[in-house]
Amino acid sequence: MAQDQLIEKIVSLAKRRGFVFPGSEIYGGIGGIYDLGPLGVELANNIKAVWWKNIVYSRDNVVGLDSSILMNSSVWHASGHVEGFVDPLIECKKCHKRFRKDVYERLYEAKKRLFKKASAGGGNPVLTGEEMEVLLCKDGVHRPQDFTGPRLFNLMFKTHIGPVEDESSETFLRPETAQGIFVNFGNVVDTMRVKLPFGIAQIGKGFRNEITIGNFLFRVREFEMMELEYFTRPAQAEKDFEYWQKERMDWWLSLGLKKENLRFREHKEDERAHYAARSVDVEYNWPFMEWGELEGIANRTDYDLKQHSKESGKDLSYFDEETKEKIIPYVIEPSAGVGRAMLALIIDAYHEDGNRVILKLKPELAPYKVAVFPLLANKPELVKLARSIYEDLKKKFPTVWDDRGNIGKRYYAQDEIGTPFCITVDFQSLEDQTVTIRDRDSMKQNRIKIKDRVTSLKKLLS
């Protein structure tokens, strides 16, 4: 299947089956904003729960936090975001569309050969949606000379606190959750008796007024991030960086992403964010752009804590009991987007078998763990027994009921949303108190005793 066809199918499945809806759709939508539907919120919650379990619950030295989205604007001045959280923006002098310089260059370079061929009479180049948006002008193709020189554009959304809209009330929607962690560093050290090295983890919304949006959930303007700030002694930072690189790659693999679709990419010096001494991305091989960031791992050094100490006048140093010295720790930050995780997981899980679509999500990520059906909806004795099994299972697992259409269609409908198991109550069930349990991936059906339903499912789900 062609790669652009694959992404079209995924966008359509996401809408049709209630994973992702365009934001404010009935008013024509809003650029770069999506809503999670009933199944999307389950998938996102499962991803976040697995992350939290891995990062916080399975470690002795990581604690959680949930800081606010709105912060004192001094935070964003001190952190360098007001000055430095910028992208170079270029504008076409003819059609006045604006793009991120690096996005234009990436797409232009990739398509240059095709354009050369096309202008020499070699037919029309096939462009993806993002390429069409960026490369095509109203009367031809954007060439580098069509653009103004780059201007720096700050990606933070401005807002005001309180009724008066002047400079003193101005602040920003956070573009990363990390600053909430840095400003609470002292509070966590004082209350939790943490010892270096230790981490503070947070999941929350971030907002970026991206210049060029697109590729579905890949680049949006409002998204959730899963961030860990891992504070460590400066001399240990490089080693911890390597440790987290490996941890994070192992985590993505444990979710079921394909090894061949993941790689690391080290940032060049001129690419790094204003606070980073080293950055390595975990990249995924996206069908619409080939390799692109899934998660960023950065060595933010002591930059943020030092800046906040200086600007707030509060001492954010840490007294190291081991060396009896006050130090400002370094911080290693793995930061991943929930939306990009969802998209990569759906892409890798998507399978077609004839006209059957199967989302081979790992059971722990699947929105529903089990579906329960009566074989026939018009046989009250089957419905009654199936209903009692359903009512019981839904107290223990996310469970869905379906009695519409024929049984084959119901199986297919569950395959498409990734439900790993389907339980069917048939006529034999009435006689011997067994039901069939069908496996999504093998399509095999086994009979289990109704009284063993919970233990059997638990075993299968693990």
**214 belongs to the binding site for ligand ATP (CB under 6 A):** no
Neighbours of 433 (CB within 10 A): 11
Shorter beta-carbon distance to ligand ATP: residue 252 or 318: 252
Shorter beta-carbon distance to ligand ATP: residue 296 or 363: 296
Pairing of the two strands 330-337 and 222-232: antiparallel
| Tally of CA atoms within 13 A in the half-sphere of 331 that contains its CB | 26
**296 belongs to the binding site for ligand ATP (CB under 6 A):** yes
Footprint (CB under 6 A) of ligand ATP, residues 314-343? 335-337, 339-340
Specify whether the CB–CB gap between 79 and 179 falls below 8 A. yes
CB of 213 to ligand ATP, least distance (A): 7
Task: Return the closest-CA partner of residue 248 out of 271, 289, 281.
Answer: 281
**85 belongs to the binding site for ligand ATP (CB under 6 A):** no
CA dihedral sign of residues 74, 78, 80, 81: negative
CB of 440 to ligand ATP, least distance (A): 28
Tell me the window of 11-19, 104-112, 189-197, 292-300 that interacts with ligand ATP (CB under 6 A): 292-300
Q: Both tokens of residue 141?
A: 């193709």
Our measurement of the distance from residue 444's CA atom to the centroid of its chain's CA atoms, rounded to an integer in Å, reads 32
**219 belongs to the binding site for ligand ATP (CB under 6 A):** yes
**Site size toward ligand ATP, by CB under 6 A:** 15
The H or E element containing residue 249 is helix 237-254
**295 belongs to the binding site for ligand ATP (CB under 6 A):** yes
**252 belongs to the binding site for ligand ATP (CB under 6 A):** no
3-state secondary structure of 14: helix
CA distances (Å), origin 126, targets 6, 86, 117: 15, 32, 12
Beta bridge partners of 320: 325
CA distances (Å), origin 187, targets 151, 200, 319: 39, 11, 14
Residue 263: exposed, middle, or buried by beta-carbon count in 10 A (0-12, 13-18, 19+)?
middle
**225 belongs to the binding site for ligand ATP (CB under 6 A):** yes
Give the type of residue at 76: W
**293 belongs to the binding site for ligand ATP (CB under 6 A):** yes
* Rounded Cα distance, 132 and 115, in Å: 12
CB of 211 to ligand ATP, least distance (A): 10
**344 belongs to the binding site for ligand ATP (CB under 6 A):** no
- Per-position x/- string for 171-210, each x denoting binding to ligand ATP as judged by CB under 6 A, each - no binding: -------------------------------------x-x
CB of 357 to ligand ATP, least distance (A): 25
The H or E element containing residue 62 is strand 62-64
CB of 365 to ligand ATP, least distance (A): 17
**248 belongs to the binding site for ligand ATP (CB under 6 A):** no
- Site for ligand ATP, rule CB under 6 A: 208, 210, 219-220, 223, 225, 293-296, 335-337, 339-340
Task: Output the known binding site.
Answer: 100, 176, 208-210, 218-223, 293-294, 333-340
Name the binding residues for ATP. 208-210, 218-223, 293-294, 337-340
